[in-house]
Amino acid sequence: MVEGVLAAGAPSVAAQLFGSGLIGLREGLETGIVVMILVAFLVKSERREALKWVALGVGTAVLMVAAVFAGIHYGTSTVTGVAAELIAGLASLVAVVIVTWMVLWMRTAARSLSGELRAGMTRALAVGPLAVVSLAFLAVGREGVETALLMVGYAENSAGSQWPLLGLLLGILAAAALTVVLYLGAVRIDLARFFRYTGVLLIVVAAGILAYGVRALQTAGWLPGLSHRAFDISSWFDMSSWYGTVAAGLVNFRADPTWLQVIAWLAYLVTVLWLFLKPLAPVESARPRSSTETTPAS
């Protein structure tokens, strides 16, 4: 019965591809931009000999991320029954926390990311190859581990389907191709607008994941209110129809949600969208030097 509940609440193939593909595209492009900044800095600084150490750090981070994802995913794939509901619910909550932190952090960190990476590479070059490898490994590995944990939480509400993994890979491939053409100057896009729009979409996806996680924890008995429906339109709203598939894919809509699901979905969406869309505070400029302050000798 539990497996049936999981399968019934799983998004459609199109929804799985869209959600995981969006995650792969955004996270892949963030990672690609990090690598692009490091490579461009080394090329312009005429330190091309250090590119191989950046490549080693990036490659090691990719292997580490793949191992983390495989270990968690296949370690939980054999769990069934109530334990599967608990894992699905808790993994969904973890995924929501990661998405929220990711989009809100990128909103404020994007303005200083390039300068921080260049300063870090300058220090790493002065230390030696191991420092360069470590910088590339940590810069890429952090983004990758976030993606791996997020995908585990996202895939838990897909009834064991492999479509989320395929969507993730397609999104990463698209991000890699876009990063290359950006580096070569073949195309130019407004990255601020891109991350703003994809951030809004990811918040909507996260709200759906949260609603699914609440339902899973209610089914497992960890949260109350499973029998208290906010509404039930399943008699005329066919979730297997094209419009039901679209609704499930965009906002993880159910025809019979519980009150707790609706409250959690709405509260999260309103709060996080407000935090994400509110104007950023202007960057403070350097304080003007008064006439009584002396200028240090050069």
Is residue 207 in a domain? yes
| Contact call for residues 152 and 145 (beta carbons, < 8 A) | no
Is residue 67 in a domain? yes
| Contact call for residues 223 and 217 (beta carbons, < 8 A) | yes
The parent domain of residue 263 ranges over: 2-227+246-277
Tally of structural domains, the chain: 1
Tally the C-alpha atoms within 13 A of residue 235's C-alpha that lie toward its C-beta: 2
Tally the C-alpha atoms within 13 A of residue 148's C-alpha that lie toward its C-beta: 20
Is residue 293 in a domain? no
Residue 226: DSSP 8-state: T
Q: Residue 229 pairs with which residues in a beta bridge?
A: 258
pLDDT at 272: 95
CA-angle at 42, arms to 63 and 176, nearest 5°: 45
Is residue 289 in a domain? no
Higher pLDDT, 178 or 242: 178
Residue among 260, 154, 262, 258 nearest 202 (CA): 154
Higher pLDDT, 106 or 288: 106
Is residue 297 in a domain? no
> Would the pLDDT of 120 be above 50?
yes
Q: How sure is the predictor about 139, in pLDDT bands with cuts at 50, 70 and 90?
A: confident
Is residue 192 in a domain? yes
Is residue 31 in a domain? yes
pTM of the model: 0.71
pLDDT at 40: 87
Is residue 166 in a domain? yes
Calculate the average pLDDT of the chain: 78
